[in-house]
Structure 1
């Protein structure tokens, strides 16, 4: 999950309701971690201090099944594609 604004928090909540086992929240603002975890995130990556693609892939070797990108810029869309496993779904 890239982007922890209003839409991103709802995506986290929906993933939790759908039974996702692990929900990794990625954002440039570390202050959003507490809120992301309250909505159901199991992990948080501060993209301002680390390479978010490498950080996600270190948590889930091979990449994740689904990536939701709600920032809407080219660079984060490209990151979502690189976070997904082969056959995974960047959304």
Structure 2
């Protein structure tokens, strides 16, 4: 579930800008949910969450244990985000 509160964003955007951004974000979110957009081949992680595969989860768990054992620092860099009007849960 994703819980997003965008109430403070409105002070930085005009209502029409906020509405356009909301519509674009909602469309992008639906595209990801449906797996129908460009780059959808990179959405395999969504299926793993919806229908877990014990063998893959065991591989992830083993890799995580090895990283914890061998690394002092582990950095994950990413970018993303979804903008929704008000406070909604997904």
Which TM-score tier does this pair reach, normalised by the shorter chain?
under 0.3
Structure with greater Cα Rg? 2
Bigger helix fraction: 2
Higher strand fraction (1 or 2):
1
TM norm structure 1: 0.23
